[in-house]
Amino acid sequence: MKHNILVSDPISTDGLQSLLNHPDFNVDIKTDLDEQALINIIGDYEGLIVRSQTQVTQQVIKHASSLKVIARAGVGVDNIDIDAATLQGILVINAPDGNTISATEHSVAMILAMARNIPQAHASLKNKAWNRKAFKGVELYQKTLGVIGAGRIGIGVAQRLQSFGMNVLAYDPYLTEDKAQQLGVKLATIDEIAKQADFVTVHTPLTPKTKGIVNAEFFSKAKPTLQIINVARGGIIDEEALLHALNHNQIARAALDVFEHEPPTDSPLIDHEKIIVTPHLGASTVEAQEKVAVSVSEEIIDILEKGNVTHAVNAPKISFNDIDDITQQWIDIGELSGELAIQLLDGAPREIKVTFNGDVAKQETDLITRSIVKRILEQDLGDRVNIINAFALLNEQGVTRNVEKRASQGTFNNYIQVHLISDSEEVKIGATVIAGFGARIVRINNYSVDFKPNAYQLVSYHGDKPGIVGLTGQLLGEHHINIASMSLGRNEQGGQAMMVLSIDQPATEEIIEALYRLGGFNKIYGTTLSVK
C-alpha cells in the first residue's frame, strides 16, 4: 500500500524528486486550499507538506485521521497548531538549516542596499532623473556592526561583514567570552550595541523576551546615524518605536524584510522614505527552496519507512494520557520550577543542575529533566525547542547539564531542585508534591517559602523591616491588582528577606518601578508561569 502525501503550498518540485520518484509514495500537489477544502481531503493522507501559506489549524488536524507527519519546508512553524498535532500523535518536522545561507546573504544585501541607497537611486533613475547628490551613501569600512542574536545566521552575517572591515559587537544570552573571541567579535549588551553601533541586524527567535527587544529606549540611546535591519521575525523591532525614531531623526535608516502583520498592506512602514522593504524574501532563493524541499522529502521517507526522526519540533507520538498522574505532577512542577528559575536569573545559564530526592529519584526521570530543560530554553529559543531536541540545543548553546539522584531529602519524602548557574549568580528553586495539597514551591535560593505556582508572581528581595508588606499591598491595591496568596522567608531577624506574592494580574514595569521608589527593595521580579 502506498503512502499518500499532500503538498498544499508551492514547493520546489526538484526538491520533491525523492518523494515523486519513490515507488511506495503517491504525491498530490494541491495548492491554494482554504481551511474547509483542506478539511475535506486531509483524511486521505499520511503526510502533509506546507510552507507558510497553509494554516494547519486544530480543526484541520481533528479531521486528519490518517496523518502521521506534517512537514514545514522551512524553519518557522507558526502556521501549524503544534499542541493539537502532538495530542493527536502527529509528528511535526521542519528544515532548520535549509534557509541559513539565503537568510544570511539577504541580510548582507539589505545592509549594503540601505547603506548605499540602492533602491531609491534605482527608482529615481527609472523615472529619468539623474540625481547623484541625493543618494550619497556611507561606507561599511571601520564601522561598528551590532548583531542581536548570535546563532548560525547572526554569526554568518558578522563573518561576511568582517571581510568589509567592520567591527562587530554581538549580543546573545548564550554567547560566552571565549566563543566571542574565537569568532573575532566583542561580547556586548543590548545597551552597548544601542550606544555604539553604526549598523544593527537582529537574528533572534520571536519570543516574549525578544518581542520589542529593539524599542523606544534602544532608539533613544542610538547614534542619529544608526541604520538597522530585520530579516528575522516581525515584532523583534517595535515598529511604532521605529517609525518614531525615524520621524524624529533619532536614527537614519531601516530595512525590513519581515513585519508584525504580513502582508503589511496598511503599514506606514511601506511608503516611508527612510525605509527599504522586501516581502519576506530571506529564504526565497532557488537553492534554499530546493534544500528545504529535499530535507523534508527525505525525512518523510525516513519516518514512514524506517521510523527515523531528525528534525522533530514536537514529541514523536508521545501520548501524555499514558503517563501516570504522579509522574505528570512531577513533570508539571519541574517545568514550572525551571520557568521560575530562568526568570529569576540575570543572564543565561552556563550550567543546569537538576536534583531528584526520595521516591521520585527511583523512577525514570529523563522525561522530567527534558521537560525542565525545554521550559528553561523556551525563554530564549521559543518554539524551536521541544523535549526531543532540548538536550541537543543545550549542548549547542554550550550549557552543561548535570542530573543527580539522592535517596532522601530531610523534610520531604520527595523533592526536586532546579539549580541554574550563570557567569555572575546562581538561582535554586526547590519543589515538592504534597498529598492533599499538590505541587508547591518550597525554596527559592536560601529562603524557605511555601506557595502554589500561580500564573503571576511578584518576587522581591528586601531588608527585613516592618512596613514592607503593608506598603506593597497598598500599592498593588492602588493598581487594582488582587493578591491571591503570600509567602515570606528570612534567614535571620533584621537581615535580608524574601516575599512571594501570587497575584491575579501581571506585575508591569510601572508597578515594579513604583515599588522600588518606596525604598527597601534590593531586587524585584514580576514572573509569569505557564500554569495549566
Return d(Cα 21, Cα 17) in angstroms, integer. 6
Nearest to 157 by CA among 212, 228, 216: 228
Q: For residue 453, which amino acid is it?
A: P
Report, in this order, helix, strand and coil percent for the chain, each rounded to 5.
35, 25, 40
Phi, psi of 50 (to 5 degrees): -135, 165
Residue 44 makes CB contacts below 8 A (sequence gap 6+) with 4, 6, 66
Contact 343, 528 (CB under 8 A): yes
How many CB atoms sit inside 10 A of residue 289's CB?
A: 22
Strand order from edge to edge, sheet including 456-463? 483-490, 496-503, 456-463, 521-528
Q: What torsion do the CA atoms of 155, 158, 163, 166 make, to the nearest 10 degrees? A: -150
Instruction: State the catalytic residue, choosing from 106, 203, 280, 440.
Output: 280
Instruction: State the catalytic residue, choosing from 203, 233, 311, 440.
Output: 233
Residue 180 makes CB contacts below 8 A (sequence gap 6+) with 170, 186, 187
280 annotated active-site? yes
In three-state form (DSSP H/G/I as H, E/B as E, the rest C), the secondary structure along 391-457 is HHHHHHCCCEEEEEEECCECCECEEEEEEEECCCCEEEEEEEEECCCEEEEEEECCEEEEECCCCEE
Set of cell numbers at residue 93: 518536522
351 annotated active-site? no
Instruction: Taking the CA atoms of 113, 114, 115 and 120 in sequence, report the sign of the dihedral they define.
Output: positive
Nearest to 75 by CA among 53, 98, 58: 98
Contact 421, 354 (CB under 8 A): no
Q: Where on the phi/psi map is residue 74: left (φ > 0), alpha (ψ -120 to 50), or beta?
A: left
How many CB atoms sit inside 10 A of residue 214's CB?
A: 25
Please report, for residues 227, 351, 494, the alpha-carbon distance to residue 443 in angstroms, rounded to integers and kept in the order given. Answer: 46, 19, 20
Return d(Cα 414, Cα 145) in angstroms, integer. 51
Return d(Cα 354, Cα 334) in angstroms, integer. 9
DSSP string, 6-55: EE-S---TTTTHHHHT-TTEEEEE--S--HHHHHHHHTT-SEEEE-SSS-
H or E stretch at 516: helix 509-518
262 annotated active-site? yes
Return d(Cα 111, Cα 108) in angstroms, integer. 5
Return d(Cα 184, Cα 122) in angstroms, integer. 35
Instruction: State the catalytic residue, choosing from 240, 262, 305, 478.
Output: 262
The residues annotated with a catalytic role in the active site are 233, 262, 280
